[in-house]
Amino acid sequence: MAKKLIGIDLGGTTTKFAFIDTKGNILAKWRIPTDISEHGSHIVPNMIKSISD
């Protein structure tokens, strides 16, 4: 199985993700809104959900 990496750019408006291979090729990329409500308590759970979907 080929090794895959994930890149995450956490911004104040959107969080961007990319799956890449070890050669730097982008396999998939997407973005979700960064939910800063409740002192940002939803950021990490939303990131995990987005990666898991």
- Condensed to tens digits (0 to 9), the pLDDT of residues 3-28 reads 999 999 999 999 999 999 999 999 99
pTM of the entire structure?
0.84
| CATH entry, 4-52, from 3.30.420.40, 3.40.50.1000, 3.40.50.2300, 3.20.20.70 | 3.30.420.40
Q: What percent of the chain has pLDDT over 90?
A: 91
- pLDDT for 1 equals 73
Summary mean pLDDT of the chain: 94
Distance, CA of 26 to CA of 19 (rounded, Å): 6
> Domain coordinates of the chain in residue numbers?
4-52
- Mean pLDDT of the 33-51 span: 96
